[in-house]
Structure 1
Amino acid sequence: MTWLIGLLGSVTIAGLAYWKRSLSGSGFAMAVAVGTVLYAAGSLAWFGTLIAFFVSSSLLSKWKHRQKAAVESTYEKSGRRDAGQVLANGGLAALLVLANAVAPHPLWWAAFIGVMATVTADTWATEIGGLSRVPPRSIRTLRPVAPGTSGGITGLGLLASVLGGLFIGLVAALLLLIQPSQSAEHLVPLALLGGLVGSLTDSWLGATVQRLNRCPVCHRELEAARHCGTETHYHRGVRWLNNDAVNLIASAAGGLAVLMAVALF
């Protein structure tokens, strides 16, 4: 019965997102699969935390879209999320809930909070930080870089990361008041920690090893496969390490940060 409820709930939410053009067809299918697993193998807290990330991120991606259009043109992917993006943001969460179903342990939940805080903090930083009036600086060199440059950070983006992590911690804590199923102890500070570590890891990887291309027209260094109406060419970084792979690694870093904090304190 729980699988059916999870499926119906996931189809409804993902269907609305598809209708609003926040998900592609493949993104819809993957979102339904991930959401169903989170509800059926977990609980309201696992499922609701994922939905909080998904809904808030989708709304922010639509917010002031025209003002962010120039920046988003440099991204590998923007607009409708496909299966790769959904898997990069929710795949590790699904694995953690399955691991908890097979061998229940509080650490699975702690890692999950770190993962979800990371993907939320990173997405919020991208969507809100893209509106910064102050040019970003490279996390590696601290020199000013063009808006949309991988590894660029702004004060507004960092604030958004903090708020994204706090948001996940608060949502998870509130959901556990409705249906207690996991530990609610220190959820907010743990989510804040995981979100910051994970989002900064994402920026560092973007500045150092992520695959970046160069536009032959404007000569910008960017993620996108096409820019200025033409194909871009490989410039530097690990060829297979695209934005989805970076997001997945960063979310693992956020989860690991929370696990270490729980183990130490």
Structure 2
Amino acid sequence: MTSPVRRAAVFAAICTLSLAVPLFGTVVGAALAAVVLLGAFTVTDGPLFDLLAYPGDYEDNRLYGLITFVLAGVALGIIAVSSSMSIAVFVGTVFLIGYGNVAEQIARTRTENEVVVVTVFCLAATSAAVIGHAGTLAIEGAPLESVAPTVVFLAASGTLLAALLRDVLLLYDDPIVMLSVGLLLWLLAELEPAIGPLEIVVALVVTVALGYVSYALDTASIAGMLTGILLGLVTIVLGGYGWFVVLIAFFALGGLSAKFRYDRKEDLGVAEDNDGARGSGNVLGNAAVALVAVLGYAASSASLLAGHVAPVVFLFAFAGSVATAMSDTLSSEIGSVFETPRLITTLEPVEPGTDGGVTWQGELAGLAGAAIVAGISYLLFPEVDATGAAIIVAAGFVGMTVDSLLGATLEGTVLGNQGVNFLATLSGAIVCALLVLSFAVIG
């Protein structure tokens, strides 16, 4: 084995020690962690140091990689024993990181294809998370049959987030990844998703297939693909397929619109990088608010929110944010091929690609994008009547306008492009929710 594989195998073996908590209690688990930490501080050279050291550890002759890794596991364990996080989530998360890394390192010795490497990591990490989570539940005497689909959902969600973070961060940032995955799974577990075996299988197949298609068509990078799959999976499980259809309509049309007259956009200097493939930042900038709305809907449905906000409010917030993202994307991608944009704040002619520049063709395309989201919502959601559809269109148009105003005033100095996208979709969601509440009060 190569050194990275051996090191990953030892880290995975250390992760297995997390089972001591459900088997023997927190005192034994803490004692084992203390022994490992003491050893990590003591070993400063020699074969064992070479086995466990990351490249950066040699500068200080200290196993900081191992130390931070164990401390992250300890922090997650402390959260688990002192809060509502289950020990099963803790063990599943630690297994996911440890054994997923082993599989990835082995894959890298055999191929340089990043899609294959990511796939191997995801399969191994999901399996390890399921084994760790289910094994802990079995130790605790909990019935596995009724919770098996939820365990798979949590494992797959955590794996996708881990793969995404490992792609956009560094391989040596596993402590950050571990804590992030553990906190996400804690949140998702609190929402108590009620899904069956068939639903989780279909959800995984649909989201993975569409994610790979987006990558194969060069409409998303690997990070963008992972982000889209994670968002899609959470949306299906916590919202439903109607919510997913709305979301995937944006990803599909938005991705295709980036290809619209791409050569012309290159000539004008306004084409997206990577042949129009969307990265994780672009996906999250446009869909983060929608994801929060899905989580809010699930929390509201489970009566976890103070004040018991009606779930329908989050449904319209979701639709408003996606309508904004669709409007803004179609407006910029279609409107950018015309050479006479005008700055939205002064209406003066500006160069193509200028932040805040708009064209009447782009405005019409944006309005059509909002109408598409409204039409899909009207067809799929009983809560969305004709008035509701009109509200979604209005919210999408307002959000698109906010995006242009922010682009003309704050983008490039105070905000980046993804920050502008986030605030625009947030404004669309808020406007949509407030209009729905206003009409409900008036009615």
- Give the TM-score of the pair, scaled to structure 2: 0.50
1:63 matched to 2:240? The reply is: no
- Change in CA separation of 1:145 and 1:252 when aligned onto 2, cut-off 3 Å: same
**Letter of the structure 1 residue corresponding to residue 425 of structure 2:** S
| Equivalent residue letter for 1:113 | A
Q: Relative to 1, partners in 2 of residues 1:206 and 1:75: Cα closer, same or farther, differing over 3 Å?
A: farther
**Equivalent of residue 128 in structure 1, options 307, 311, 334:** 334
1:17 aligns with 2:218: no
Query: 1: CA distance between counterparts of 2:216 and 2:235?
Result: 22
2:359 to 128, 137, 154: 154
2:40 aligned residue: none
**Partner secondary structure for residue 48 of structure 1:** helix
1:71-128 Cα deviation digits (max 9, x unpaired) = 4547688711111111111121111111111113210001111101000000000111
Q: Given residue 189 of structure 1, which amino acid in structure 2 is its aligned partner?
A: A
Q: Which among 186, 195, 208 is matched to residue 396 of structure 2?
A: 195
1:7 Cα deviation from its structure 2 partner: 2.2
Q: Which runs of 5+ in 1 are unaligned?
A: 212-236
Deviations 1:209-252 (A, max 9, x none): 111xxxxxxxxxxxxxxxxxxxxxxxxx11xx210111010000
Alpha-carbon distance in 2 for matches of 1:114, 1:108: 10
Partner residue of 2:324? Answer: 118
Give the Å deviation of 1:255. Answer: 0.8
Q: If each structure's helix is expressed as a fraction of its own residues, which one has the higher value?
A: 2
Q: Identify the match of residue 86 of structure 1 among 264, 283, 293.
A: 283
Rg comparison, structure with higher value: 2
Equivalent position of 1:229 in the other structure: none
Unaligned runs of at least 5 residues, structure 2: 1-196, 302-310
Counterpart among 183, 206, 210 of residue 411 in structure 2: 210
Structure 1 vs Structure 2: percent identity of aligned residues?
A: 33
Distance 2:275 2:416 in 1: 14
CA distance in 2, matches of 1:78, 1:117: 24
For residues 44 and 147 of structure 1, the distance between their equivalents in structure 2, rounded to whole angstroms, comes to 38
Which residue in 1 is equivalent to 2:168?
none
For the residues of structure 1 that align with 2:292 and 2:433, how far apart are their CA atoms? 16
Secondary structure of the 1:103 match is helix
After TM superposition, the score normalised by the length of structure 1 is: 0.83
Instruction: Count residues in correspondence.
Output: 233
Tell me the equivalent position of 1:46.
243
| Structure 1 pair 140–203 and aligned structure 2 pair: CA distance change class (3 A) | same
CA RMSD of aligned residues (A): 1.7
Matched, 1:167 2:167: no
Conservation of the 8 A alpha-carbon contact between 2:255 and 2:278? no
**Structure (1/2) with the larger strand percentage:** 1
